[in-house]
Amino acid sequence: MSAYGQSVKNIMKKSILILLILFNANIFGQTAKDYIEKGDDMALSSNFEGAILNYNKAIELDFKNSEAYFSRGVAKYNLEDYRGAILDHNKALEINPSYELAYYHRGLSKRKLLDYKGAILDYTKAIELSPDYNFAYYERGIANNELGLEALRNDLSYLEYFHKAIVDFNKVIQLDPNFKLAYVNKGISKNNISDYRGAIVEFDKAIKIDQNYVLGYVLKGEAKYQLSYYNEAIESFNKAIELDANLQRAYYYRGKSKIYNGDKDSGCLDLSKALELSSEKNSRILFQEIQSFCN
């Protein structure tokens, strides 16, 4: 072979080698973004462990990628690793202090750990960064409701928490008039301050959005019961039981409504059904009530 031919052959070999290197780089040289996308796909399929492995790889490639820490935190939340989720959201916020989603999701984890005040601070920060963030208003309302219940159980001042919750649920409804759970939880807040008539208005709005909303009928029935509107309460519980025949709570309150309305026999049958459906924890108390009302 001539020197020229050998030279051409060497050039071709080098060209093929370069192409192979580039080809392999395209296959194996994945970026942090690629791993985040893979992780997101796995998370959407509820494969949170697999998602975390991909987010780990993204962080190895780019340790200042706030999205990777945030997404890993969300995956940990879904695996009920709330403390691990908070650590990841802390890191995401250290890198990007304006990451409103990280504040919101850190708030969710704090609420799961019963740190309601810490959760409220995070939801508030998310709202400051995104004033129309309806889910942040909603979750802040839920956390205020929880603080109110906690205060009520401990004989502390509680009204301000429920009023704050109502303000937040109003904002959610302003942003999204079809947000069913905002009406329900606004009604629960009103129940907690003994505004039963106001609560019924909210439960009716939720039922208008979803006519098969079982909890809406149960809560409406309970508010009617508190007002001693026993016939109307029974109607609500009838509808709830029609939709779900295994609702212990509906049988219980329908039974008591019937007894207070003068229909002892039918009421006691409902209380017996409630006892049949009750947990072991509640069965002893319910059994004592049946003995009191029905013997």
Domains and CATH numbers, the chain: 32-105 (1.25.40.10), 212-295 (1.25.40.10)
pLDDT tens for 26-75 read 335 799 999 999 999 999 999 999 999 999 999 999 999 999 999 999 99
Six-digit token pair at 143?
Answer: 């956390």
Mean pLDDT of the chain: 91
**Average pLDDT for 233-245:** 98
Six-digit token pair at 157?
Answer: 């001042």
pLDDT tens for 152-201 read 999 989 999 999 999 999 999 999 999 999 999 999 999 999 999 999 99
**What are the CA-CA distances from residue 164 to residues 82, 145, 180, 196 (Å)?**
26, 8, 19, 18
Q: Is the pLDDT of residue 17 over 60?
A: no
| SS3 category, 262 | coil
According to the model, what pLDDT value does residue 28 have? 53
